[in-house]
Amino acid sequence: MLYYNFANDLNTEEPLDEQDLFEHYRFIADKGQEPMRLDKFLTMRIENATRTKVQKGIEVGSVLVNQRIVKSNYQIKPADIVTVVLPNPPRNPELIAENIPITIVYEDESLVLVNKEAGMVVHPGYNNYNGTLVNALLFHISKLPEYSDEMRPGLVHRIDKDTSGLILVAKSESALVHLAKQFYDHSIQRIYNALVWGDVKNDSGTVTGNISRDLKDRRLSAVFEDPSIGKHAVTHYKVLERFGFCTLIECKLETGRTHQIRAHMKYIGHTLFADEAYGGLKVLSHAKFPKFDSFIQNCFEIMSRQALHAKTLAFVHPESKKWMDFNSDLPEDFSSVLTKIRTFVS
């Protein structure tokens, strides 16, 4: 069964935050607590948590006792404070495997790395109960020669429906816990390429701003300067190529909020090119170029989605502990628009 997580509010098309993929717990042992192994203590208290999942969480440091990392055989004492971060269990076990083509970049016994096409929803949700990457992965994994009931892959992060690029999926409960901890700690490296409107002033910079649901449209995210609203979000960017009316940039995520790059870039006045939801279809006038409006409309026809691609994903392998670094080429629509723009401005 594939692990996934519906949005907290099923009336929305997008999940609120990647952090929804994690469960947070805090337990305080009773004054009369008898000595008990930590792994047994947690298995008894966390619904649907297997002993293996708990032990792996303890092993990778997802479980703290009195703010200290301990081992599974730690004996719980009265008044001990136990904090836990574990991957969320599935909300609904009824998922259908579907024979949908996907591009697999890398696969081994622990994980599978997919280069997702733009237009594919990652997991089931409002108005998207089938045809998703989750459905495709269920079919793919069930057909593997080594498939068994113990092979339980799971999502550890997300990318938007109309964003292309790399997404990492665990194939076992053990790998899921290890990879989820890396995402939660922000130690996994994620780099995106984005085409944004306008000439970005600085060659590099950092956007910091809390992100939450937009007050006018809850399908979108917005940046709030009030620190009491939303969740902390940080995006580092670097200019790759300038075209005058738009800029190709690289974005490195320090946090993983829903629509983070799209919301942060709009916040600093550089909405993603062709991003309809965030105003990226508004053609900015530019007197320097003749027939500019028709040229841009033609670009929109080639790339009818936000110009955002998850290009790089690097992480520590959950079993070998080796650093793994993967890159994906820009898809055809993105590269075609860049070629067209380069020709137009030359």
Which residue, 65, 145, 149, 142, is CA-closest to 96?
A: 142
Q: For residue 201, give every residue at least 6 positions away whose Cβ sits within 8 Å of its Cβ, in sequence order, or none.
A: none
Which residue, 179, 188, 191, 180, is CA-closest to 108?
A: 179
Structure tokens at 211: 């992100």
The residue to which tokens 């983070």 are assigned: 260
Compute the half-sphere exposure of residue 323: CA atoms within 13 Å on the CB side of its CA: 5
* Helix runs in 60-156, H state only: 133-142
Positions of E strands within 198-294:
204-208, 210-213, 221-224, 234-242, 246-253
Q: Report, as residue numbers or ranges, the catalytic residues.
A: 160
Q: For residue 243, give every residue at least 6 positions away whose Cβ sits within 8 Å of its Cβ, in sequence order, or none.
A: 341, 342, 345
- DSSP code of residue 284: P
The residue to which tokens 């055989």 are assigned: 73
